[in-house]
Amino acid sequence: MVVNDSDGLSVAIGEYYRMQRHIPVRNMVHVRFDGSHASIDAGAFTRLKAAVDASTPPQVQAFALTWMRPYRVDCMSITTAFAAGFDPAFCSEGCGATRRSPYLDSDSRRPFEDLRLRPTMSIAAADIAQARALIDRGIAADGSMPGGTAYLGVSDDTARNVRAAGYADTGLLAGPRLRVRILPMPEIVDRPDVMFYFVGARDVPGLASNRFLPGAVGDHLTSFGGVLDGKGQMSALRWLEAGATGSYGTVVEPCNILGKFPSAVLLLRHYLGGESLLESYWKSVAMPGQGLFIGEPLSHPYSR
């Protein structure tokens, strides 16, 4: 776990998560940097990452960040920059493809040993109350084997609806544990049983009217969902505030290249198979360089 000691909220989140998840003190890495800006430049980040790596025990396989800002490193998300190091190959000029993740749909449970990659998720929150609620939901989900429903929204937004082509395959994974509803609408309201919710949309009105089960996952395919400050498009942070345990969004313009966003089929495959939220989300994105992973990383509702 990486804590910014110059950020009081980061310190508070780190301490609460350490206690609730019984994180060994030796796995807590403390650094100091200016966390008031949305972005950090590549040079400053490279020095920060070197300090973190030097203090990280070799057996550690993943990182959890305990802050909302910065969420970007130049053209990359900060979660992918921590996972793989800053690398311009994870960026793109215009609507191009980027470097692919070796962790995509992988069977590896030891990614740093196997792939030299430490998948990273940010426990992002605007205040400590929201952070504690997020962490508590993640822990409450562990081993709970929830039922609920996967809601897959089909919108008339042609540019953002590209993921819908693969929705039909999710029913094969759900089995008797989970209902799958493919809906010809971009939003749902007043649903009491949301476990997965995927849609392509600039905004998702009515999000907070739904009840998300502990461990639930949701995201909206749009250009700037990972801009947590929210500038013209809905921030992925709104999913966590509405009760989801994990979400995802891109921090710079990715265009609608499908591989830059989570695959609903792959996410369900790994999550329903008992892997953690962190593992499952990361294994569902082919080109994660521009994408920010947020939530409670260790939540594992389908593992006994």
Residue 73 in any domain: the answer is: yes
Task: Please tell me whether residues 190 and 103 are part of one structural domain.
Answer: no
Structural domain including 250 reads: 146-280
137-167 residue pLDDT tens:
999 999 999 999 999 999 889 899 999 988 9
Chain centroid to CA 67: 13
pLDDT band at 116 (very low <50, low <70, confident <90, very high): very high
Whether 189 maps to a domain, the answer reads yes
- Count of domains forming the chain: 2
The residue among 26, 74, 81, 17 whose CA lies nearest residue 48 is 81
pLDDT range class, residue 243, cuts 50, 70, 90: very high
Residue 241 lies in a domain: yes
171 and 101 both lie in a single domain: no
pLDDT at 173 over 90: no
Q: What is the mean pLDDT of residues 197-203?
A: 95
Q: What is the mean pLDDT of residues 47-52?
A: 98
Tokens of 85: 């190091």
Q: How many residues does the chain have?
A: 304
Check whether residue 188 and residue 250 sit in a common domain.
yes
Mark whether 154 and 106 lie in a shared domain.
no
Whether 127 maps to a domain, the answer reads no
| 292 assigned to some structural domain | no
Cα–Cα nearest to 122, from 297, 298, 304, 255: 297
pTM of the model: 0.97
d(CA 195, CA 189): 14
Q: Are strands 179-183 and 149-153 parallel, antiparallel or unpaired?
A: parallel
Is 128 inside a domain boundary? no
Give the model's confidence band at 219: pLDDT under 50 very low, under 70 low, under 90 confident, else very high: very high
> Token pair 């010809």 is at which residue?
184
Same structural domain, 218 and 117: no
Give the end of a domain, one of 90, 122, 154.
122
Residue listed under structure tokens 């089929």: 265
Query: Would you say residue 23 has pLDDT above 90?
Result: yes
Find residue 291's DSSP bridge partners: 250
Q: Is the pLDDT of residue 175 over 80?
A: no
Shared domain check, 234 and 157: yes
Where b means 16+ CB within 10 Å and e means fewer, 131-146 reads bbebbebbbebbeeee
Going across the sheet that includes 39-40, the strands are 39-40, 72-73, 76-77
Is there a domain that residue 139 lies in? no
Residue 53 lies in a domain: yes
